[in-house]
Amino acid sequence: MSTGLRGFRFLLNPLQTAGGVFLLFLETLKSAFGLWPRRRILVDQFYLIGYRSTPVVLTTGFFTGMVLAVQSFNQFRRVNITTMVGAVVGVSMVKELGPVLTGLMLAGRVGAAITAEIGTMHVTEQVDALRAMAANPIRFLVLPRVMAAVCLTPILTLMADFVGILGGSLICVGILNVEWHFYYVNMLDWLSVWEISVGCAKSSCFGLLIALISAYKGLNTEPGAAGVGKAATEAVVTSCIMILVSDFFLTVMFQAIKPEWA
């Protein structure tokens, strides 16, 4: 009986989380059409989520581009088409690796911080104090973080794409002696505005998922310091899983609606 109950809870908890995150999204969307928080609150979140995340995102993108270049070069060298490495690095970074790795890095850094901050406020009854003062916690706590994550994740992704392509170029052209002209010509031939737009759209969705899941876990934190730590861990794990799952469905969707000119 206890095993069956644990299995039932194993299936029920993800459904409960999905429903709670969806309701939180609706409340956040409703708050977005009302009175916005003060500019100082928005600026603080843009600084914490965007500027403070730049070093880890750039480092991840740079070394990912270099690793991708080395692996692709070793494979293409067998068929003597090493000049196509630029196309592989560019398209892979812009469409898949850039958005996904940026999302995963933000889930670990930003998601845990959002959950810990809101969770601490919930445990210390600061969220209840906002409600007692007739202030909407969604508008003051969730909306600024969602706006910052949705707006800045594409920018961070583009930065990761650029340094990843730069790192791959340094390895291929500077060390592996790939002909630079054909390297960049092939990359530009395969890299179009559509690929860049797809990467930005994916990263915006990932930023939305990270902010909503982290805020939901924070608002439903169990009492005590252990509850805050548990909520932060659950937020990071759930965000990473949802990024990978949603990336598949977004890839299929964008492939289905891809225009003829792309």
pLDDT tens digit sequence for 1-38: 455 555 556 667 778 888 889 999 999 998 888 777 78
Q: Which two tokens stand for residue 195?
A: 């690929």
Q: Which two tokens stand for residue 127?
A: 């969220």
Question: Which residues have CB under 8 Å from 218's CB, separation 6+?
Answer: 114, 115, 116, 117, 118, 119, 121, 122, 231, 235
- Number of Cβ within 10 Å of residue 5's Cβ equals 9
Q: Which two tokens stand for residue 106?
A: 């933000």
3-state secondary structure of 240: helix
**The pLDDT value given to residue 177:** 85
**The pLDDT value given to residue 126:** 85
**The pLDDT value given to residue 1:** 45
Give the residue from 62, 61, 66, 133 showing the smallest Cα distance to 97: 61
226 pLDDT band, cuts 50/70/90, is confident
**The pLDDT value given to residue 6:** 58
Taking 90 as the threshold, does the pLDDT of residue 262 lie above it?
A: no
The predicted model scores a pTM of 0.89
| Cα gap 18→99, rounded to integer Å | 22
The burial class, CB within 10 Å (0-12 / 13-18 / 19+), for 182 is middle
| Cα gap 104→172, rounded to integer Å | 27
**The pLDDT value given to residue 8:** 56
Q: Which two tokens stand for residue 97?
A: 């690796």
**The pLDDT value given to residue 197:** 92
Q: What are phi and psi of 65, to 5 degrees?
A: -60, -40
The burial class, CB within 10 Å (0-12 / 13-18 / 19+), for 185 is middle
| Cα gap 45→256, rounded to integer Å | 35
Does residue 82 contact residue 73 with C-beta atoms inside 8 Å?
yes
Q: Which two tokens stand for residue 129?
A: 């104090």
Instruction: Give the H/E segment covering residue 124.
Output: none
| Cα gap 146→190, rounded to integer Å | 33
**The pLDDT value given to residue 246:** 94
| Cα gap 54→40, rounded to integer Å | 21
Distances (CA, A) of 93 to 40, 42, 211: 34, 30, 23
Does residue 119 contact residue 217 with C-beta atoms inside 8 Å?
yes
Residue type, 81: I
pLDDT tens digit sequence for 86-121: 888 999 999 899 999 999 999 999 999 999 999 998
pLDDT tens digit sequence for 166-221: 999 999 888 888 888 888 888 888 888 889 999 999 999 999 999 999 999 999 88
Residue type, 160: A
pLDDT tens digit sequence for 143-178: 999 999 999 999 999 999 999 999 999 998 888 888
Taking 70 as the threshold, does the pLDDT of residue 49 lie above it?
A: yes
